[in-house]
Structure 1
Amino acid sequence: MIAAAQTLFLERGYAATTMEAISRQSDVPSATVYRLFSSKLGILRAMIAVSVDGTPEAIPLPEQPEARELLKSQDPTEQLAGFAAICRQVNDRTCQLYQVLVSAAASDPAAADLLAELAKQRKAGQDRIARALSRDKSLRPGLRQRDAADIIHALMSPELYRLLVIDRGWKPDKYQSWLAGTLIDQLLSARD
Structure 2
Amino acid sequence: MDAVNAPARRYHSPLRKEQAAATRDAVLAAARELFVGEGYRSSTVAGIARRAGVAVDTIYATIGRKPDLLREVVETAISGTGQAVPAERRDYVIRMREAKAAAEKISIYAHALARIQPRLAPVYVALRDAAGTDPDCAALWQEISNRRAANMLKFVEDLASTGELRTDRPAEELADAVWSMNGPEYWVLLVDQRGWSPERFADWLTDAWCRLLVEQK
- The answer to whether TM tops 0.5 is yes
Partner of 1:142: 168
Distance between the aligned counterparts of 1:115 and 1:141, measured in 2? 32
Unaligned runs of 5+ in 2: 1-26
Using structure 1 for the length normalisation, give the TM-score.
0.93
Residue in 1 that maps onto 2:69: 43
**% identical equivalent positions:** 27
Normalising by the residue count of structure 2, what TM-score does the alignment of the two structures yield?
Answer: 0.83
List structure 1 runs of 4+ shifted beyond 4 angstroms.
none
Distance 1:57 1:107 in 2: 27
1:10 match: 36
Deviations 1:67-110 (A, max 9, x none): 02312422100010111112222212201111110111111011
1:132 is aligned to 2:152 = no
1:160 CA displacement: 1.0
- Displacement of 1:34 after TM fit? 1.4
Taking the TM superposition and a 5 Å limit, the aligned residue runs for 1:49-64 are 49-64=75-90
Q: Tell me how large the CA RMSD over aligned residues is.
A: 1.5
Which residue of 187, 208, 212 corresponds with 1:161? 187
- Contact 2:30-2:52 at 8 Å conserved across structures: yes
On the 8 A contact 1:52/1:61 being kept in 2, the answer is no
Inter-partner Cα distance in structure 1 for 2:144 and 2:51: 28
2:95 to 69, 74, 77: 69
Number of aligned positions between the proteins: 191
| SS state at 2:138 partner | helix
Distance in 1 (alpha carbons) for counterparts of 2:36 and 2:157 = 37
Q: Distance in 2 between matches of 1:173 and 1:71?
A: 22
CA distance in 1, matches of 2:132, 2:34: 18
Name 1:104's counterpart in structure 2.
Answer: 130
- Structure 2 distance, partners of 1:10, 1:169, is 20
Aligned residues of 2:125 and 2:185 also touching (Cα < 8 A): no
Flag structure 1 segments of 5+ consecutive residues without an equivalent: none
Is the Cα–Cα contact under 8 Å of residues 62 and 125 in structure 1 kept in the other structure?
A: no
Paired residue for 1:22? 48
Larger radius of gyration: 2
